[in-house]
Amino acid sequence: MSDQARVEVAEAVREEIGELFRLRQPHGGLAVIVVSWVAVVAGLYAAFQVVTTGNVALNFILFGPVSLRGLGIVPLVYVTRFKIIF
């Protein structure tokens, strides 16, 4: 490979890396993800600190269907299905 070709490849790689790490403006999709994360953390806190394992049925309901599926997966599916993040 000639020196000119190496320089061109190096410049192309630098441009691609710069584009990859270019800062973008946040938008509504990011807000949905942040709210989803806060809701999951609150649901897990409620399941394991408020309810505890003394009430196993409510603990399971808060942990499984409510925290993981309802608060975690549903908003992320919404964002990936209906919004373009990047």
| pLDDT tens track for 48-69 | 888 877 788 888 877 778 777 7
Segments forming the whole domain that contains residue 77 = 25-86
Top pLDDT among 86 and 16 is at: 16
Residue 6 within a domain: no
Residue 31 within a domain: yes
Tally the domains of the chain. Answer: 1
How crowded is residue 58: how many other Cβ atoms within 10 Å of its Cβ? 15
Is the overall model pTM greater than 0.75, yes or no?
no
C-alpha to C-alpha distance for 63 and 68, rounded to whole angstroms: 6
Residue 51 within a domain: yes
Residue 3 within a domain: no
Residue 86 within a domain: yes
C-alpha to C-alpha distance for 46 and 23, rounded to whole angstroms: 36
Residue 2 within a domain: no
Residue 9 within a domain: no
66 phi-psi bin (left φ>0, alpha ψ -120 to 50, beta other): alpha
